[in-house]
Structure 1
């Protein structure tokens, strides 16, 4: 088959756009270049500089379809108006839209697969800007209903899609995202020591890594951290690492209100070269999000052997692989207690270190790509049968 992949949201920029969905696309393309199966691929990306970062393979053709990154409207216009004609010209059999939305009108011969990462715009609409809510309600819902098949990144998201949109489960396949191989390579202790000295966190620290935005529940994490310092006089700082997303001003206001200016660090966007060291140098990792389609940082931290505190809602227990401490994300006392356990429980720390390779294997790139290729093949068969039935 000839498979098309709309990778327009793949970014190598040093900002929040190089976050979860971009990394999902990157890891998918990287592994496809290593095990493409029997198919050929045309991958549509945003700019030659993106192509220069990607691994090459004779079965994969990269096509640059640039649009200004600062103008999402231009991307949406290209996706809806230009991409269908490119699919027709190149005789693409299956189009994979790896971030929630496919073109409204596709050539009759083309099957479509959409990866849906979460339904936060339905579960928690108040944590999104008005523009994002409008985009998802206009494009995402219609895309999910019209796609030949859907890929969800967790069983929790699959359940949401079925319950909230009434889409049959037999059209939905759960394929976990993968952990990049760099997280399974344990760093030399001297590197960790040097890293901690560089950022003045020699006592270790509690790490949050992700986009700074409301759904991540960072305000509650700050309350729990303040309580932890008050009750146990801990020395570990709280590091809130990641690019600024949207509606993030309240986070900085909260730090000032709690008088934590000297205890909370904002290193900004974390580069790929240092991401594993941030995990491995941390005393504990925290992601008390209100809702996640999967929550890959939880799995990444566990693959680095770091104790994790996360929420007991949505997909986060799945990402926690039976090792993370899962608590009610609204319960400040429970979150504070779990953070203290993660910092002080040596049995838990040893268990996390021993189980780290198992977590990395559970969420491997090879497994993700093998299942994704199988989904392409299944979507083509379903689409062919539908066309025969229609005729």
Structure 2
């Protein structure tokens, strides 16, 4: 087969979740499949993180905006290549696709009531673009992939899709997320303390930053340790606004907020952390949970959407709307060493269910059916 895969953003330096899913899946396909020919269609960028091989070709397509890139430039390239199928990896696809289409629809948050406000212009435009495009491409899709059984059922019901139209293929986690013995050389770039709490927050309301910071303020009032909090991917201005809004500005001396953290450094930061907070309001999967657990770090996560499915029955699940409950779980981990050690063992065990190799095997099987 000649298989085209849209991976528009994988060459950008500051990658996020969907970029890594596409990149790691392609890397594994490159390892396991020598029979089929792949055309990886990307936008030019500084991070050339994928190398060509005999049967994997990289095609860089330059275009000023994402909608034009996807709706005009991408179909033109596909028409020239004439592959047997096109796999679009990040929720949207060309409305007029010249070949059979496979779509990875990570979630349908854009069709659900919006949580919170103060979104960036970029986030707002993406939200409206997805609402416009997704309903128009569903009928063209030979197959729709999503990343958890929760999301599979949610999408099927919301969009009234036939049962055989959509399937769940789990994500994996990268092998460099593992227990490490030496971390200070990297962690000290981001936080001065070698015993801290770690939280991946950003401006997306589903990440639940305000309540998580409120929970941390409650933790500080009751803890003897008073471990500092490292927050990734959040600007100083946004953080200051949240602290004022929650009336918890007194906790700022305990916070470190370095902004975006490269993926290569995250393994060290997970390893150095006492606990990782993944207290989102809504997730379709939750790769950071796997990464932290694979590093031997306990995870506190939400009890909604796909998070219980990925964390498993033994995970530490909380009502993410309840700041007091989040604080209590952090304190419990601090006070009960047996529980803490059991969570380390539990996490290292449960992540064995997930791998990018398995993701790629499932993708290849699906391609063959088409």
Q: Is this a same-fold pair by TM over 0.5?
A: yes
Unaligned runs of 5+ in 1: 69-73, 381-391
Question: How big is each residue's C-alpha offset from its partner over 1:182-241, in whole Å with a ceiling of 9 and x where there is no partner?
Answer: 003x211xx234445554543511111253421100100011111111123442011111
Residue 301, structure 1, aligned to residue 301, structure 2: no
Tell me the distance in 1 between the aligned counterparts of 2:270 and 2:132. Answer: 37
Which of 18, 22, 34 is the equivalent residue of 1:25? 22
Deviation at 1:146, TM superposition (A): 2.9
**Shift in CA distance, 199/2, structure 1 to aligned 2, threshold 3 Å:** closer
Residues matched between the structures, number:
365
Alpha carbons of 1:374 and 1:259: their partners in 2 closer, same or farther (altered >3 Å)? same
1:235 corresponds to: 226
Displacement of 1:303 in angstroms is: 1.0
Q: 1:195, 1:55 → 2: CA distance?
A: 27
Find out whether 1:276 has 2:267 as its counterpart. Answer: yes
Range 195-204 or range 4-13, more displaced: 195-204
- CA-atom RMSD in angstroms: 2.4
CA 178–163 in structure 1, closer or farther in 2 if over 3 Å, else same: same
Cα distance change on mapping 1:324 and 1:25 into 2, 3 Å: same
Q: 1:243 to 1:29 in 2, by over 3 A?
A: farther
Cα distance, 1:247 vs. partner?
A: 7.8
Greater shift, 131-140 or 217-226, is seen at: 131-140
Q: Is 1:39 aligned to residue 36 of structure 2?
A: yes
Report SS of the residue matched to 1:28: helix
8 Å Cα contact 2:10-2:22 kept in structure 1:
yes
Corresponding position: 1:259 with 2:250: yes
SS in 1 for 2:31: coil
Mind listing any 5+ residue stretches in structure 2 that lack a counterpart?
none
Q: Hey, what does 2:137 align to over in structure 1?
A: 143
Q: Which residue of 2 aligns with 1:165?
A: 159
Under a length normalisation based on structure 2, what TM-score does the superposition of the two structures give?
0.91
Deviation at 1:101, TM superposition (A): 0.8
1:324 matched residue in structure 2: 315
1:92 aligns with 2:83: yes
Whether contact under 8 Å (2:61, 2:73) holds in the other structure is: no
SS of 2:258's partner is strand
For normalisation by structure 1, the TM-score amounts to: 0.86
1:55 to 44, 51, 54: 51
Deviation at 1:31, TM superposition (A): 1.2
The residue number in structure 1 matching 2:2 is 2
